[in-house]
Structure 1
Amino acid sequence: MAGSRKRYSSDLKAKIALEAIRGNKTANEIAAEYGVHPTQIAQWKKQALVLQ
């Protein structure tokens, strides 16, 4: 069964990436809070750091 892919807004991605960069919570804690996979958070964090 093919499901539709989840789409995340740029604002949400940036918010999650900033939380990961701050380091107050682990990737697993952030993932549980927002319903996103920890690997995805790591990718968004990496992208955010490259853009600086």
Structure 2
Amino acid sequence: MTLIDTIRQTISKRAVYARTKHEIKSMPLDVALDLNIDRDNAAQIARQAVYG
């Protein structure tokens, strides 16, 4: 993998992380409760989902 590919992959993952975090934080409370998700942990959940 070249340096450019690594940079592109990093930028792409960061965008997915930001979008996932935003979606979790803006999720309606009833949906979050149904999925057993604490919206206050959005950053941690998004990090785990994107980066493993």
Give the TM bin, normalised by the shorter chain: 0.3 to 0.5
Kindly indicate which of the two structures has a greater share of residues assigned to helix.
2
Task: Look at both structures and tell me which one has the larger radius of gyration over its CA atoms.
Answer: 2
